[in-house]
Each structure stands twice: as structure tokens, then as C-alpha cells.
Structure 1
Amino acid sequence: MSTYIALVRKEKGSSFGVEFPDFPGCISAGDSLDEAVANAKEALEFHVRGMIEDGDKIPNPSDLNLIMSKPSFKNAVPVLIDVPVVHKNKRVNITIDEGLLAKIDELAAEMGMTRSGFIAVAARKSLLESRKDKI
């Protein structure tokens, strides 16, 4: 598990915005602070997963004092976000209904994904949703 700093800001009349100094371009938002933090965690997990799939190097977490010393982050509230350790992919053999497999392949192609990638994203989404029910 790695812990990264998310910076939360709230401008008058807007939602809570979240950015990650270690991951430029990875942003999120929410109508409440809790929603913004939950959305930020999901955004960071997907961002890191995409970087790994692209073969990009994942940065080490920056020091909180260093980040908060920058004038551009002066009015932001830091929140720590944990990202699970990503494991290597493992090849598996599964049995699945032919009709369901055809629909998976069709939608995966429309989304520009592989079958394995689509199934992995669907499984992660299901796991995230099942955890929300238990919280």
C-alpha cells in the first residue's frame, strides 16, 4: 500500500475539487468533502492502474511538508489517499456462458479494451461496490 497526498479545494459556488501533486492531470471532485475524497481514491486507483498498464513508472509519494510549502497549494487541504499494491497479472482459465462472452467482447471492443481488461475492470468495480455496502 502506498499513501499519496490529495489536495482538496473548495471555491465559492463550486464543488470540492481534488488534485494529486504526484500525478499531474489526475483530478476529481464531489459535492461534499466525503464524496470528493471517495471519488479521489477511485480516480487515483484507476490512474495508477492505467500507468502500470502503459508501462509508466509510478512516482514515490512526495513529502507533505514539501508539497504544502509551495505557494500554489497554500489554500488547499491535504488528505492522504492509500493506493493498494498492484500485483502482477496472472493468466487464468475460466468457464463462461457463450452469449455473455460475446457481449463482453462486443462492449470491450467498443471501449477499446481487451477481454481481460474489461473483465478486470468489471471485477474491480464489483469489489468496490460490495465494499461500500459493508461500510
Structure 2
Amino acid sequence: MQRRLYPAVLERGAKGTFGAWFPDFPGCVAGGRSQQDTIERAETKLAQAVDALAEHDRPLPQPTPIEAIVLPKGCEFVAYFIVGVDPPDPSERVNVYLPKSLLRQVDRRATELGMSRSSFFGLAATTALRHFAAASVGFAESRSRARKTGGLRTKTTPGKKP
């Protein structure tokens, strides 16, 4: 899906603070002590709102043109600003078989990072794709381990042909 540009309203709040809200996302608001801080928080809030809609398979609203925005009574308007958001790429469930020991390590590390297993695998795959993008990669490491169990024979065993 293509990047969407949503308008936001920046208004003056109490005691020198600022607030921002999005006409297309009721309840998506942010506040801060400076205009810059408020805008940065609004960007984060919009991204979270878009993610929430995607998680529930709900469509994104069409952006409202700035000239169509109706300011509520009592709004101490400062400015309009635009926030661009890239809608998330839809997810697809896949089944993979991995060693249990690897899954335990992944789960432990994902928990440490505050991530889900799926998010961790997504991050790992993205990192690997970027890392190996320019390099040609040979065979992947085998899950099975082959170990040398005997010595090297340099002579044939008596009674057997070489």
C-alpha cells in the first residue's frame, strides 16, 4: 500500500503546552511542552493507530483535505501539519520447522527485547536479507552435525581389496 499523508492540527494547551490531533483518527492525540516534541509524539501515535487498524484488518481512512477540517469551538489553533505514514505490509502465517533449542534461544532473547517470537523472526529475517544483499551466500549451515568418529585409514584391511 502506498504512503498516506494525514493532516494534523497543532493547538496551544494550558501552561504553555501544545496538543495535536488527527481529524481522521478520533482519539489519536499527543501532547508536549514544545511544538517539536508534540509533533514527534503525534507521529508515533499515528503510526500506532495505523498498526492497530491493520492488526484488526480494518481499512485506513482517506485523508481529509486541510480545507475541510472543522476546528472545534475553543481550539487555540497554531498550525496544520502533515504526517506521512507507510501502512504496514500485511502479514501471512507460515509454518516452519526449527530445532527446539533454537526456539528456546529465540524466545529468551525476544522476551529480553520485549518482542514476540514473530516480531523477532521478522527482525532477524530483515537483518539477514540486508546483510546478505550484496554478498553471494553459499549453502546454509546444516542443522545436523557430522563429527569425525574414527581415525584416517591409510592402509587397506587384510583380506579386502583396495
TM-score (norm 1): 0.67
For residues 86 and 99 of structure 1, the distance between their equivalents in structure 2, rounded to whole angstroms, comes to 27
Corresponding residue number in structure 2 for 1:5: 7
Alignment of 1:27-106 (within 5 A): 27-67=29-69, 69-72=70-73, 75-76=76-77, 77-90=79-92, 98-102=104-108, 104=110
For residues 92 and 74 of structure 2, the distance between their equivalents in structure 1, rounded to whole angstroms, comes to 40
- Counterpart code for 2:35: L
For residues 74 and 61 of structure 2, the distance between their equivalents in structure 1, rounded to whole angstroms, comes to 19
Q: How far did residue 91 of structure 1 move? A: 5.7
RMSD, matched Cα: 3.3
Alignment deviations for residues 73-103 of structure 1 (CA, whole Å, 9 cap, x no partner) = 863221111111322225676x867345235
Q: How far did residue 55 of structure 1 move? A: 1.6
- Counterpart code for 1:79: F
Deviates further, 38-47 or 96-105: 96-105
Q: Which 4+ stretches in 1 moved above 6 angstroms?
A: none
Corresponding residue number in structure 2 for 1:25: 27
Instruction: Report which of the two structures shows the higher radius of gyration computed on alpha carbons.
Output: 2
Q: Can you give the 5+ residue segments of structure 2 that lack an aligned partner in the other structure?
A: 124-162
Alignment of 1:101-116 (within 5 A): 101-102=107-108, 104=110, 114-116=116-118
- Structure 1 residues 3 and 72, CA gap change in structure 2 (3 angstroms): farther
Corresponding residue number in structure 2 for 1:15: 17
Sequence identity of aligned pairs in percent? 25
For residues 97 and 73 of structure 1, the distance between their equivalents in structure 2, rounded to whole angstroms, comes to 55
**Is 1:119 aligned to residue 125 of structure 2?**
no
Contact 2:8 2:81 in 1 (8 A): yes
